[in-house]
Structure 1
Amino acid sequence: MLDSQLVLVQNVQLNLDFQAITPNLPIRKFEYRDFPNMDRLNHLPVYQQNNMQQFLGNGQNYFLGNNAVHNGPLLKTARKETCNRCFQPDFPFISEGKICNNTLNVLILVFTKPGNTERRKALRETWLKDIKNKSAQYIFVIGTDANTTSSSLAFVENSVYNDMLIIGFQDSYANLTYKTIMSFKWTQMRCKSAKYILKVDDDMWLNFDVLLRILKTGAIRFSLGGKCNYGQYPFRDPKNKYYVSYSDYPMSIYPPFCSGTAYVADSDVIKQILTISPNIPFFRLEDIYIALCLRKLRYEITNIPGFHSTKIYPLACLYKSPMVITSHGVSASELRNIYQASCDKDGSMYVPKNPQQLPERMILEQRWPKGKLARKSFKYEQQLLKHNLF
């Protein structure tokens, strides 16, 4: 009788929403072998498999097909998918640069920290320098710092450049979701005329001309685009920077999301995210939180070729080619070297003609379209030229 009930429950659970059926579920203690979707986890590190086994063995559990595992004792404290206006960050805008106008096409939100003065200086001297003549504007978005000296210098810096939005909350990695939602609120209050909102970190290279050509095609109207990921597993190792516990996120796979290092969205999408966000509980990983909002809104994401969430080899003319829109982790000196380089418009003559000749240590896992390779730093550039690989 119990087995027949179990089969019935599993069939029903695959098609119904968890919250709707939870009160009526028969309860049984499941073993690891009872989960048909666990076969997919065999390739994961042992510690993740052990964590899952321990989680499943700790009391009575609900099984939700291939989507989620809820532990009975955690149901009262586990993060819910939706709530009733439980997430409403309301931090003051302490200092605002006045940068918006009625002809604004693209607004760039550059996420930075109070102490990153040199990065901001390099950005102002490089790719940010050229965007103002192209119906675009930028603003640096920062919070406050426990180091009062850094915070004070940020206020002085803004009095000089008038291009910073300082929000009254502690600026930290754990607070990125607050930072994102508050910056979106600011765009709707001060820059309603902007058609597109680009969020980007302060250690990014941006090839704005290539991005602008893509936006003009209407490719991401009513969408959010960037370097997007599908079918990603949460990190369950507590030592990992991106660790997420089962109570914080019981689902086995994240919704499709675009890397928070850089993404661009239609302003209407930003507005809808702000509308739904009060009913989406806080989640520490900002790009996943935005994905949870988009899933509730039934919006799709758009993977844009040329967006890179990791650092590619910063050969100057490669960065100025149509193959690169963004690259992450670029230093201030590299930004200046790239910006000052004189290159062909397409940069094609600077791509290795025979990549197989490159030393193995120079090859990363990520590859360019059509076999062109990703790279890390400038230190091999002279070696490449010496071997006539360009």
Structure 2
Amino acid sequence: LRTHQWCFILFNVLLFHALLFGADLLEEYFLRSLPLSYTDAKVLEIRERARKLDTDPLKANLSKSYTASSAGACSHQEVFLLVLVCSSPENRTRRSVIRQTWGNVTDAGGYAVLTLFALGKPASVITQLEINEESQKHRDIIEGSFIDSPTTQTQKIVMGMEWTVTFCPQARYILKTNEEMFVSIPSLVGYLLSLTQLEDIYIGRVIHQAVPDRDPASPGFVPISQYPDGFYPDYCSGTAFVVSQDVARKVYVAAEEVPISVPPDIFVGICAKKAGITPIHSSRFSGEKHIRYNRCCYKFIFTSSNMKEDELFKDWREISDGKDCSL
């Protein structure tokens, strides 16, 4: 190749990396929310209650709160990243696919990772029997005592936070995600290890100035009596976000004062604001977007949405081949 051809190739390689990494840094800089003040008396009260939270009563209500609890899943291990996958009771096949792909990672760079599935009770007795069998086999099901439906997804989030602070208080970080997602566990763990801030971590794809749905005919309807403000506070997309253990405690405590009718991801954002926690934006979380597959890209991003089962198998096999991505 001639000199000008080599220059052209080099320029395109540098441009690709500038767009890949530079856009992420710029987006995080411009979309970073301003830190909240801890001088508010209510904020300080919530943070203090979270610090002193007594989980013994929660353990005593085990049979009332959970149909299947996997209470011993975190015992006798220091968990760096606890992954809670919100799943529908009927989606047994999807849970199996996750167990065989990205959910199969139990160690990332020497740090322990634990993946569990959070769901409510099914309406079908047959499905419940299948879940009982699945839970006995894999020991990774957290099933609440409420019926799983579109209107109980916020309740599922609260259950996940409650389970975390009760049965896995040693987990340093908690990733809440959905079953249709791809998650690059090694990439995410590497990022979390680079953080210098150790508390008040609430990170994901941040949504700004979302407007409450005031349409009574809409499934997401939130009446003014439940939430009177014109905009929601900044919050992380519910497709995937990470919180530190202290944030899980603060959100759980603040949840007592937030209407359960608010959509689940917004519910967490409101709880976070009440506890003086500012969401941190990272564009490596895809939100609701499906990222077109590229092996090196999938090694860099944290999540991609709307993944088909055959895609998960194929993509996971390719990015797990041990090959590095380099110029």
CA distance in 2, matches of 1:279, 1:244: 16
Which residue does 2:117 correspond to in 1?
Answer: 140
Structure 2 length-normalised TM: 0.73
2:277 aligned to which of 292, 299, 312 = 299
1:124 aligned to which of 99, 107, 112 = 99
- Structure 1 residue 182 corresponds to structure 2 residue 159: yes
Return the letter of the residue paired with 2:143: I
* Residue pairs, 1:241-256, within 5 angstroms: 241-256=219-234
Which residue does 1:200 correspond to in 2?
Answer: 177
Which residue does 1:99 correspond to in 2?
Answer: 73
Which residue does 1:263 correspond to in 2?
Answer: 241
Structure 1 residue 248: Cα displacement:
3.0
Structure 1 residue 93: Cα displacement:
1.5
Secondary structure of residue in 1 paired with 2:289: coil
CA distance in 1, matches of 2:197, 2:150: 28
CA distance in 1, matches of 2:178, 2:172: 20
Return the letter of the residue paired with 1:261: T
Structure 1 residue 244: Cα displacement:
2.6
Structure 2 stretches lacking a partner, 5+ long: 1-45, 47-57
Assess if the C-alpha contact under 8 Å between 1:128 and 1:138 holds in 2: yes
User: Higher relative contact order at CA 8 Å, sep ≥6: structure 1 or structure 2?
Assistant: 2
1:214 aligned to which of 161, 173, 191 = 191
Structure 1 residue 230: Cα displacement:
1.2
1:161 aligned to which of 138, 149, 161 = 138
Structure 1 length-normalised TM: 0.62
Return the letter of the residue paired with 1:117: R
Assess if the C-alpha contact under 8 Å between 2:105 and 2:113 holds in 1: no
Structure 1 residue 317: Cα displacement:
1.2
Assess if the C-alpha contact under 8 Å between 2:222 and 2:261 holds in 1: no
CA distance in 2, matches of 1:104, 1:165: 17
- Aligned-pair identity in percent equals 25
Secondary structure of residue in 1 paired with 2:144: strand
Return the letter of the residue paired with 1:206: V
CA distance in 2, matches of 1:254, 1:184: 21
CA distance in 2, matches of 1:164, 1:114: 10
Secondary structure of residue in 2 paired with 1:135: strand
Structure label with greater radius of gyration? 1
Assess if the C-alpha contact under 8 Å between 1:141 and 1:166 holds in 2: yes
Secondary structure of residue in 1 paired with 2:316: helix
Structure 1 residue 220: Cα displacement:
5.7
Structure 1 residue 214: Cα displacement:
1.4
* Residue pairs, 1:223-242, within 5 angstroms: 223-242=201-220
Structure 1 residue 319: Cα displacement:
5.0
Structure 1 231/146 Cα, relative in aligned 2: closer, same or farther at 3 Å? same
CA distance in 2, matches of 1:334, 1:243: 34
Assess if the C-alpha contact under 8 Å between 1:230 and 1:256 holds in 2: yes
Deviation per residue, 1:113-161 (Å, 9 max, x gap): 1100111011011011123463111111111011221121011111111
Secondary structure of residue in 1 paired with 2:299: coil
Structure 1 291/313 Cα, relative in aligned 2: closer, same or farther at 3 Å? closer
Which residue does 1:288 correspond to in 2?
Answer: 266
Structure 1 145/220 Cα, relative in aligned 2: closer, same or farther at 3 Å? farther
Higher helix share: 2
Secondary structure of residue in 2 paired with 1:269: helix
Structure 1 residue 311: Cα displacement:
3.1
Assess if the C-alpha contact under 8 Å between 1:220 and 1:266 holds in 2: no
CA distance in 2, matches of 1:225, 1:262: 9
Assess if the C-alpha contact under 8 Å between 2:291 and 2:305 holds in 1: no
Structure 1 residue 177: Cα displacement:
1.5
Return the letter of the residue paired with 2:324: K
Assess if the C-alpha contact under 8 Å between 2:151 and 2:261 holds in 1: no
Deviation per residue, 1:283-329 (Å, 9 max, x gap): 3311111111111111111012210112324425155231x211122
Structure 1 residue 171: Cα displacement:
0.8
CA distance in 2, matches of 1:114, 1:220: 36
Structure 1 residue 252: Cα displacement:
0.8
CA distance in 1, matches of 2:114, 2:219: 32
